[in-house]
Structure 1
Amino acid sequence: MSDPIAARPAPDRAGIRVICNDHSGRNSREAEAIDRAMAVLGPEAELCHVKGRDIAETARAAVRDGYGTVVAAGGDGTIMAVASALNGSDCALGVLPLGTFNFFARGYGIPEDPEGAAKVIAAGHSRSIDLGAVNGRLFLNNASIGVYPAILKERETVYRRWGRRRIAAHWSVLKTFWRFTRPLKVEIEVEGQRRRFRTPLVFAARSAFQLDHFGLQGADCIRQGGFAVFVAPDEGRMGLLSDAVRLAVKQMRLGEDFELICADRLVIHVKRRRQLVACDGEKFAMDGPLEFEMVRNAFRIIVPDAAGEAAA
């Protein structure tokens, strides 16, 4: 987990630093979106184009330099990097969503159009939020092991060929499900009790909006301050393909297509010492066991005023 940052007292903070993932601004549509947002934010906002691995350090520098708001311009991976850097500081997070799905922004009612998102940031209404963490790494929407990290790897190839489109993302899911043949053997520990599973996917969700979007149960687990953990049965590639279809038409069945575990802390014991973990669309190699916990009041996020207490 990120260490709290020594920072100036909140009353001394002013100004906005917008951190744009250089990858996110490469096409003309996204470059135009950033320009339109900056026009709304005005001259007090500073724009920084940085490469992916430099995002977190640029955000930490903004905290040290006394900025009041740090804006993540990009997809959920970019937002996650900035959010991790702000953990424990008194600096507020603004979001300019430029990703494929933008589940985090949409979950807090933040508009996907650039002017709308910029107006929310300029208004400055904020609220404190809780985040999930796995082995100390924060995540916004979800963290998982198994087939989903493989999907992300395939998605990178598809995006390079066809661009960052939602239909391309769905196609990468189908391709990966068809090729996936190696389920995991895991033990999931909750409150000292262990259960064994043979599964292609363990998916820990923290976005009630994302679950509602796909018609999945478990949103109440999240609204009560914990994780909704989905464990898929080992049914082979045809079972995975069937699940993909049911997910697309919002007809996933509790007890048949997945098992649901609600917890605010859990440990996943895996056979391999190193396990590939997907967090908000990014992949990380982590040493087992994988410890999931909630980070309370991680930082403040700027939201539309009406959504300040309603977001999940």
Structure 2
Amino acid sequence: MPHAPRRRALMLVNPRARRGSEALDSVVARLEAGGLEVRLERFDTPEEVSADIVRRRDEADLVIVCGGDGTINSAARGVLATGLPMGIIPMGTANDLARTLGIPPELDAAADIILAGQTKRIDLGEVNGHPFFNVASIGLGADLASGLTAETKKRWGQVGYALAALKVVFSARPFRAMIIDGSGRRRVRTYQIAVGNGRHYGGGTVIEASATIDDGHLDLYSLEMDNVWTLALMLSAFRRGEHGAWAEVRTARSTEFEIRTTRPRAVNTDGDIVTETPARFVIRPDAITVFAPLAAASTG
């Protein structure tokens, strides 16, 4: 009996990710022992990732992305264009998409999920045509993304996030915006507007308690407190996704939002600044196939 052909995996590695310098020999050996033919490539800029996926679409049966949320975001266009299923080896600082999908931080364990072959379809958010898996934000989150360098993330990890966040909060000022969706228009004075597609962001914070990455809609919140330090009292609610219970937090759910501001403001997607307001957010349901544990595949 002839052997079935080995599935071909294009494995893309971000050497600048927090754990990007770790040896992947054992992961590659594990994948190849499990029946994959692995082609490993390292890249220098995010722009290379999707272009490489598209260029090699006929040479691969699946894509494996090794890096953090920013790296995975860079692969979104290529995976969307080719329809190739995507595996994740989490090597970043926050790894929020991996957390949402139930993929463990241990590299060999993440490789085993790819080998198990269980997949699920997930949604993809877009803002002004730029994709995001986890969250897009205007205000505090964008200010944090602007001030958090790759070197800080690689050297300090979650501690670096905390220190940078404190710096942002100290200098935070509210801004005025208009939120537009199917239910109407609302003028707000806010410190942040965030629009979530997945479940986790910011190192494990929950976008909304009932949110999943395959529910076909976006979840918005707006921080409309008088004093930004009130945010400290809300932290545990944010970790659970229950911040909508606070009067200072406006929440909304829709398949499309538009945010307008009095002057252009930066928009952060999955940790990187990619565009500015006015910003139109839309959902692409069931856009991408990912490898995920059975529990994630059945529950979202």
The alpha carbon displacement at 1:255 in A equals 3.4
SS in 2 for 1:31: coil
Determine if the alignment matches structure 1 residue 260 to structure 2 residue 284: no
Match of 1:51, SS state, is: coil
Correspondence for 2:289: 300
71-80 vs 151-160, greater mean Cα deviation: 151-160
Contact 1:56–1:85 (Cα < 8 Å) also in 2:
yes
| Contact map agreement 2:97 2:134 (CA 8 A) in 1 | yes
User: Cα deviations across residues 33-82 of structure 1 (Å, max 9, x unaligned)?
Assistant: 5232112112710111101232221222232x331111110000101111
- Cα 1:121/1:33, change in 2 over 3 Å: farther
TM-score normalized with structure 1 length = 0.83
Matches within 5 A, 1:267-286: 267-272=258-263, 274-286=264-276
1:45 aligns with 2:38: yes
CA distance in 1, matches of 2:251, 2:22: 42
When the two chains are superposed, the root-mean-square deviation of aligned CA atoms in Å is 2.9
CA offsets 1:197-228 (integer angstroms, 9 cap, x no match): 01110011122245995466442486642111
Deviations 1:158-193 (A, max 9, x none): 717x81411221121111101123x22111111161
Count residues in correspondence: 292
- Alpha-carbon distance between aligned partners in 2 of 1:261 and 1:211, rounded to the nearest angstrom: 20
Match of 2:92?
A: 99
CA apart distance, 1:239: 3.5
Code of the aligned partner of 1:189: I
- Matched with 1:168 is 160
Residues 156 and 32 (structure 1), Cα distance of their counterparts in 2 relative to 1, 3 Å cut: closer
> Is structure 2 residue 280 aligned with structure 1 residue 291?
yes
* Residues 132-169 of structure 1 deviation map (CA, whole Å, 9 limit, x = unaligned): 11111110000000121111222228717x81411221
Range moving further from structure 2, 193-202 or 254-263: 254-263
Q: Output the amino acid matched with 1:179.
A: S
> 1:46 and 1:157 mapped to 2: Cα distance?
26
Contact 1:33 1:114 in 2 (8 A): no
* Structure 1 unaligned spans of 5+: 1-11
Question: How much does 1:259 deviate?
Answer: 1.3
Alignment correspondent of 2:131: 138
Sort the Cα spacing of 1:49 and 1:164 in 2 relative to 1 into closer, same or farther, 3 A. farther
What TM-score comes out, normalization by structure 2 length? 0.86
Deviation, 1:283, is 0.9
Helix, strand or coil at the partner of 2:82: coil
Query: Partner residue of 1:15?
Result: 8
Using the TM superposition, name which of 119-128 and 77-86 deviates more: 119-128
Asked if 2 retains the 8 angstrom alpha-carbon contact of 1:177 and 1:241, the reply is: no
Code of the residue aligned with 1:39 in structure 2: it is A
Matched-pair contact (CA < 8 Å) for 2:196–2:219: yes
Compared CA separation, residues 128 and 231, structure 1 to 2 (3 A): same
Aligned 8 A contact 1:190 1:265 in 2? yes
The answer to whether the 8 A contact 1:218-1:262 is kept is no
1:235 equivalent in alignment to 2:226: yes
| Residue matched to 2:169 | 177
* Contact 1:126–1:303 under 8 Å retained in 2: yes
1:75 pairs with 68, 74, 79, which one? 68
**CA separation of 1:165/1:279 partners in 2, compared to 1, >3 Å: closer, same or farther?**
same
Cα offset, 1:280, TM superposition:
0.4
What one-letter code is carried by the residue in structure 1 that aligns with 2:56?
Answer: A
CA distance in structure 2 between the aligned counterparts of 1:210 and 1:157, rounded to whole angstroms: 18
Q: Check whether the contact 1:178–1:241 (CA below 8 A) recurs between aligned residues.
A: no
Letter in 2 for 1:292: F
